[in-house]
Amino acid sequence: MFVIIKYVCTKVGEYMEIGASSSCFYPLLTEKAFLNIAELGFQNAEIFLNSPSELSMPFIRQLKAVKDSYGVNVVSLHPYRSFSEGYDIFSKYERRFDDVTEVFKRYFDAAATLEAEYIILHGARGKPEIPVEQYAERYFRLSEIAGKMGCTLTHENVVSYVGEHPAFMKYMKGALGEKFKMVLDIKQARRAGASVKEFIDTVGESIVHVHLSDFDKEKDCILPSEKGLFDFFELFTDLQNVGYKGKYIVELYSDSFSEGIEIMESAVYLQEILNCTKEGRK
């Protein structure tokens, strides 16, 4: 029997930590999706770039104008290149890696312009061509370039990709120490049959960014609400226990809601739970 817990805690207030990703509105054009996020009143956002032309500096400055006008903090920038990261970055052909670093420098430059702290990688799909030691070394080299250009490279857990289970992230943390940073996506963990808590217990100190969604008996990705089955109180508490200081971003698919305002209502629901965890009560 599932029991809905009613949260009684501090009201959201003027500042809300819960943000949203422009990917929620895909396939709406990126600039329009980001404007939707800003107009809904979100103070934190992730921008998902969806095509090569969106790396042009005039386009990035267009996004920055929206950011500045609405006072939105762009937390992270998500390249669309997950389909090719294994081939470009983590293959046996090192010259391809050397060449693609020039492409990623454009992402790092865009992040610096937007004052986005994090760039998100999915990594290699399936088993990478190269040994895991070389995989970590390639990640390190790319992350060093990112750091010099003012942003932080992160690795997300994604189903069917090398990082879908905690064991891989544990290896990366052990190999790279503080240089390794992770994005925890609870939807992707659910799809991979991986334990969100195990990710937190295993590499919690490396988690710097979190993607939020919910699920029910019919769908594995829905808008977070009291109708969902995911325990956000436990998630927020577990992350706070390992010292998590990052933002939380609602990342959904456009078929998960009918109107944009529903995303903001969901974020308010999540913020109230987050406030409860800080007060230590439900």
In a domain, residue 161? The reply is yes
CATH label of the domain that carries residue 188? 3.20.20.150
DSSP 89-133: TSSS-HHHHHHHHHHHHHHHHHHHHHT--EEEE---BSS-SS-HH
How many domains does the chain divide into?
Answer: 1
Mean pLDDT of the chain: 94
In a domain, residue 11? The reply is no
Q: Which of 38-47, 157-166, 233-242, 273-282 has the weakest average pLDDT?
A: 273-282
In a domain, residue 25? The reply is yes
In a domain, residue 149? The reply is yes
- The total number of residues written for the chain in this structure: 282
pLDDT tens, residue by residue, 1-38: 233 344 445 455 556 899 999 999 999 999 999 999 99
Q: Is the pLDDT of residue 208 over 70?
A: yes
pLDDT tens, residue by residue, 110-141: 999 999 999 999 999 999 999 999 999 999 99
Higher pLDDT, 160 or 12: 160
Inter-residue contact 107 to 153 (CB < 8 Å) = no
Instruction: Please say whether the dihedral angle defined by the alpha carbons of residues 257, 182, 151 and 132, taken in this order, is positive or negative.
Output: negative
- Return the pLDDT at 82: 87
Beta strands in the chain (DSSP E): 18-21, 44-48, 73-78, 118-121, 152-156, 182-185, 207-212, 248-250
Which residue segment(s) compose the domain that 225 sits in? 18-279
- Return the pLDDT at 95: 96
Q: What is the mean pLDDT of residues 237-241?
A: 97
- Return the pLDDT at 4: 39
- Return the pLDDT at 5: 43
In a domain, residue 271? The reply is yes
- Return the pLDDT at 13: 56
pLDDT tens, residue by residue, 73-90: 999 999 998 889 999 999
Inter-residue contact 209 to 184 (CB < 8 Å) = yes
In a domain, residue 103? The reply is yes
Model-wide pTM > 0.75: yes
- Return the pLDDT at 224: 97
In a domain, residue 39? The reply is yes
Q: What is the mean pLDDT of residues 261-271?
A: 97
Q: What is the mean pLDDT of residues 65-79?
A: 98
In a domain, residue 1? The reply is no
